[in-house]
Amino acid sequence: MNRKILLSDLGNKDYKETWDFQSDLLQKIVDVKINNRRNNLQQPTNNHFLFVEHPHVYTLGKSGDLNNLLLNEKQLAEKGATFYKINRGGDITYHGPGQIVGYPILDLENFFTDIHKYLRFLEEAIILTIAEYGIKGTRSEGETGVWLDIGTPFARKICAMGIRSSRWVTMHGFALNANANLGYFDNIIPCGIKGKAVTSMEAELNKKVDLEEVKQKILKHFKTLFEVEEFIVSL
């Protein structure tokens, strides 16, 4: 099993370009797995972790409801935003500047073959990260992601998650609202869940956070939870 992960920070990158890049990485891993099984080989498969920051964009999961987007094409253009219907689970969400987006493209057969456990570990990495800033994150039963003050009238979401997997290879991932402009969430019903607000680390702490510092903390906790051998920086 290969528990090394190739780490790439793509900086600010168009959503569709990043989606295509993820799909290409996933397909290359799947091709190795298919070839191994057909020819009784044991070629190792790669694992990747991408950090990225997207220009303003709304994405709708495969089971999502388009009515949860509250803008028409003209209004999207006026806000400098784009929209994509994509192949991850979940409903609608927003990505934009100041948000830390992470896309682990892992062959789970290198780690464990359990999608439920994978999602819980993603959540736990974020919960442990924001705890270092004094923010108490938690889960909401039946609603993937990381929340604050669940069970109160002030419940709010700080990190959205949605994934796709093929032959135990994952893509898509999480979006942590670090210094994101929360006004853009007013144009959707986030994740299709009415009556629950969104928040950010900046809003909770009343100050901006250092994005690079937060990324390093995420990687630290991810490495422990997934028992990663090492992250290898890949350009």
Domain ranges across the chain: 52-102+113-229
pLDDT at 65: 87
- CA-to-CA distance for 198 and 160, rounded, in angstroms? 10
pLDDT at 195: 58
Per-residue model confidence as pLDDT tens digits over 106-131: 999 999 999 999 999 999 999 999 99
pLDDT at 59: 93
Instruction: Indicate which residue of 191, 201, 214, 219 is catalytic.
Output: 191
Task: Categorize the per-residue pLDDT at 194 as very low, low, confident or very high, splitting at 50, 70 and 90.
Answer: low
- Beta-sheet pairing, 143-148 with 156-166: antiparallel
CA 224 to centroid of chain Cα atoms: 18
159 is catalytic: no
Fold of the domain spanning 52-102+113-229: BirA Bifunctional Protein; domain 2 (3.30.930)
pLDDT at 125: 98
Rg of the chain on CA atoms, in Å:
17
Residues 37-47 have a mean pLDDT of 96
- CA-to-CA distance for 105 and 28, rounded, in angstroms? 11
Contact (CB, 8 A) for 161 and 137: no
Per-residue model confidence as pLDDT tens digits over 166-193: 999 999 999 999 999 999 998 988 655 5
Contact (CB, 8 A) for 52 and 103: yes
List strand residue ranges (DSSP E) for 96-203, in order.
99-105, 138-140, 143-148, 156-166, 169-177, 197-198
111 class by beta-carbon count within 10 Å (0-12 exposed, 13-18 middle, 19+ buried): buried
